[in-house]
Amino acid sequence: MSYHRAPWPATRMRRMRKDDFSRRLMRENTLTVDDLIYPVFVLDGEQRTEAVPSMPGVERKSIDLLVEEARELADLGVPAMALFPVTPAEVKSLDAAEAWNPEGLAQRATRAIKAAVPHMGVITDVALDPFTTHGQDGILDDDGYVLNEATVTALVKQALSHADAGADMVAPSDMMDGRIGAIRQALEEQGHTLTRIMAYSAKYASAYYGPFRDAVGSAANLGKADKTTYQMDPANSDEALHEIGLDLAEGADVVMVKPGMPYLDVVRRVKDEFRVPVYAYQVSGEYAMHMAAFQNGWLDQDKVMMESLLAFKRAGADGILTYFAKAAAVKLAGRG
């Protein structure tokens, strides 16, 4: 950039850092509760909770308890929750048909939350991995390759079932080609013209997802397989711009970069290039690393949590999916 400031000592950069008032007046980015989305794991049954060992402080919860959580989050001003179902093993299948069951976990949870807390935004995950016996995000051919068109057909059914249940925003996280356009067309044809699409457009084949797969119960199904034939290579960022451009052209309202902090350079590039709503996901592995350091006393929990979230804003993220959302909202409200 061109530089027009007078040299030192006429310019002393530390002057504006001297006092709290001037630091506040020159602050470029601010984190607020409006930036936060809380991912939650949905269990079958009633009055049930299960701890996620690899994610200290995170619990899987039954729908009735999630409704209570939605009320607490609404009181704190958190605008939205993202639902991830823990699918019972007995209903998993090769074709993932449980994904579009109108009485499935995600569908029932959506209806319950919207009935109890209508103004809470409900975001649903559109992907097949929680519902397949093999843990992949799609329908496989005989060689184990994920078939694109067959998977998109299934994803459309799933997205429509979520919209029918009252989801405010569907979030395809599968990384199939063309699925945003197919889902948008189906939503329009079925009268869901205001259902938003948050596209996981730049979702990388990352090693940071391990605790999440434990949480939703897909890790054992996936085994030692990986998702490199459809999720992005961590080496690439130009490719992310192509993916996002395609999803926007197909009708995405919001685009997502995942994981978060290791990919903030991608968030910045996307925001600079497209100037659209860009979200990022502070994923399970990021959360687990932070929590391990906090529990060992190596890092200050409140300060590092808030600094990590502010980093997303500085990089250009408009929304942050984070397991710290509730704790951060408490902190921002001055209650903790």
Q: Are strands 146-147 and 169-172 parallel, antiparallel or unpaired?
A: unpaired
Token readout for 306 is 């808030």
Q: Give the other-Cβ count within 10 Å of 150's Cβ.
A: 15
Q: What is the pLDDT of residue 2?
A: 67
Is 227 a known active-site residue? no
Reply yes or no on whether the pLDDT at 219 is more than 70: no
Reply yes or no on whether the pLDDT at 218 is more than 70: no
Rounded mean pLDDT, 32-53: 96
pLDDT grade for 328, boundaries at 50, 70 and 90: very high
Element (H, E) at 24: helix 20-25
Reply yes or no on whether the pLDDT at 76 is more than 90: yes
All residues at 6 or more sequence positions from 191 whose CB lies less than 8 Å from its CB, including other chains: none
pLDDT tens digits for range 222-258: 667 789 999 999 999 999 999 999 999 999 999 999 9
Q: How far is CA 237 from CA 179, 268, 313, in A?
A: 21, 11, 19
Reply yes or no on whether the pLDDT at 220 is more than 70: no
Q: What is the pLDDT of residue 141?
A: 95
pLDDT grade for 116, boundaries at 50, 70 and 90: very high
CA end-to-end span of the chain: 41
Catalytic residue, candidates 258, 271, 313, 326:
258
Beta bridge partners of 85: 42
Is 18 a known active-site residue? no
Q: What is the pLDDT of residue 335?
A: 78
Which residues in 282-309 are b (16+ Cβ under 10 Å) and which e?
bbbbbbbebbeebeeeebeeeeebbebb
Spatial CA neighbour of 320 closest among 275, 254, 274: 254
Confidence (pTM): 0.94
Rounded mean pLDDT, 49-73: 96
Catalytic residue, candidates 203, 227, 313, 326:
203
Spatial CA neighbour of 105 closest among 93, 120, 88: 88
Rounded mean pLDDT, 105-127: 98
DSSP structure class, residue 277: -
CA atoms in the 13 A half-sphere facing the CB of 335: 11
pLDDT grade for 1, boundaries at 50, 70 and 90: low
pLDDT tens digits for range 143-195: 999 999 999 999 999 999 999 999 999 999 999 999 999 999 999 999 999 99
All residues at 6 or more sequence positions from 213 whose CB lies less than 8 Å from its CB, including other chains: 135, 219, 222
275's torsion region: left (phi>0), alpha (psi -120 to 50) or beta? left
Reply yes or no on whether the pLDDT at 274 is more than 80: yes
All residues at 6 or more sequence positions from 118 whose CB lies less than 8 Å from its CB, including other chains: none
Q: What is the pLDDT of residue 275?
A: 97
